């Protein structure tokens, strides 16, 4: 008898411990100011937030790495940072979470990406970004690639975490993918539209429906549109699979030549989708590192994403939390409509 999907996922979760994954991409620092609003400013029609507490969280590729660690794996981050105060905060926070910083290349004069979010009454009021999107070149690109090659020696694969902040560029992207394919490592891509059609022949991509619709020039309002766009992108990219996240509708997994699997959402509460894409790409990578299929990886990632969107700000889940969630739901029945 073929084991049920939940049994297969349980076995995957048991193999998460120690799985080694590299995260290459845009590392960020997320700054949060939490407070309350009791009045509107007399200077402009905007709320006045009385700040009650502040905090820092890992963002971008750093949050992907933290998701891997939370799931029981080992993550090596490869990217860049500035030589500023934010870089000090970033390295300190990475150290507190037990994440190595030797794969981060410091660049003098380049700001460390910081996103400051002001949150009041569980809602984001405004976000301020301090960053540059200038692509790294020359010696900086060479140093990042050298760090990537060193990190990949003992890794099962790589997650490309592209937020459009300059670490991922055309020539370096091609070298990163070619190295992984040549050494039989998987490549999971959390894509940005700028480079979308450069992510060719990868193991899988995990765009959300807005990103997939934008690059295809269509809105994914129904399953027919999802199906059409999904197979079009799969063919153009020559990828082994494509996983489009559909928000409250769940996910759609595309595998060649013509297989689409719709995975319904398991989330019952949505407070903040910040970082949900990081959780999806991290969970997919962990499942692949543990020897799982793309269907098993997509299903597990769908459950993991349902865990983190219940919290404000970037969040992570664990293999034990996924295991508990699986125990509370029935075996899935997938649709291919």
CA distance 216 to 230: 9
Q: How far apart are CA 260 and CA 215, in angstroms?
A: 19
Residues 6+ apart with CB under 8 A from 96: none
Using an 8 Å Cβ cutoff, are 128 and 116 in contact? yes
Yes or no: say if 147 and 79 are a contact pair by the CB < 8 Å rule.
Answer: no
Return the number of other C-beta atoms located less than 10 Å from residue 40's C-beta: 11
Q: Please check whether residue 322 is in contact with residue 303, taking contact to mean a CB–CB distance below 8 angstroms.
A: yes
* The pairing of beta strand 204-205 with beta strand 113-120: unpaired
Active site residue 222: no
Closest CA to 244 of 286, 161, 8, 231: 231
Q: Are 29 and 80 in contact (CB under 8 A)?
A: no
Residues constituting the chain: 337
Residue 278 has which token pair? Answer: 């990081």
Candidates 26, 30, 272, 278; catalytic one: 278
Which tokens sit at 73? 């794996």
CA distances, 128 to each of 20, 115, 124 (Å): 34, 6, 11
Rounded to whole angstroms, the Cα distance separating 86 from 116 reads 12
Determine how β-strand 47-60 pairs with β-strand 113-120.
unpaired
The first and second tokens of residue 105, run together, are 């290349």
Residue among 244, 279, 277 at smallest CA distance from 260 = 244
Q: Would you name the residues annotated as active-site residues?
A: 278
């Amino acid at each position: 008898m073929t084991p049920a999907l939940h049994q297969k996922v349980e076995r995957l979760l048991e193999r998460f411990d120690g799985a080694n994954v590299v995260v290459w991409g845009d590392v960020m620092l997320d700054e949060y100011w939490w407070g309350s609003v009791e009045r509107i400013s007399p200077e402009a029609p905007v709320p006045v937030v009385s700040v009650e507490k502040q905090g820092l969280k890992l963002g971008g590729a750093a949050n992907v790495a933290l998701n891997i660690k939370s799931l029981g794996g080992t993550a090596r981050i490869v990217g860049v940072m500035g030589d500023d105060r934010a870089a000090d905060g970033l390295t300190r926070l990475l150290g507190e979470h037990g994440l190595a910083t030797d794969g981060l290349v410091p660049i003098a004069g380049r700001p460390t990406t910081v996103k400051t979010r002001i949150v009041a009454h569980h809602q984001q009021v405004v976000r301020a970004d301090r960053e540059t999107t200038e692509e790294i070149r020359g010696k900086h690109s060479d140093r990042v690639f050298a760090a990537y090659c060193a990190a990949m020696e003992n890794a099962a694969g790589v997650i490309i975490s592209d937020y459009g902040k300059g670490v991922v560029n055309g020539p370096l992207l091609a070298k990163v993918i070619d190295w992984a394919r040549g050494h039989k490592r998987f490549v999971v891509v959390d894509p940005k539209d700028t480079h979308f059609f450069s992510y060719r022949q990868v193991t899988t991509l995990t765009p959300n429906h807005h990103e997939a619709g934008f690059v295809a020039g269509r809105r994914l309002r129904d399953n027919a549109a999802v199906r059409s766009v999904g197979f079009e992108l799969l063919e153009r990219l020559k990828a082994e699979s494509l996983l489009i996240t559909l928000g409250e509708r769940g996910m759609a997994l595309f595998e060649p030549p013509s297989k689409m699997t719709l995975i319904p959402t398991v989330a019952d509460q949505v407070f903040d989708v910040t970082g949900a894409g990081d959780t999806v790409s991290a969970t997919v990578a962990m499942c692949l590192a543990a020897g799982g299929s793309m269907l098993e990886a997509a299903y597990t990632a769908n459950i993991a994403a349902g865990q983190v969107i219940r919290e404000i700000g970037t969040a992570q889940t664990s293999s034990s939390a996924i295991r508990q969630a699986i125990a509370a739901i029935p075996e899935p029945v997938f649709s291919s409509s």
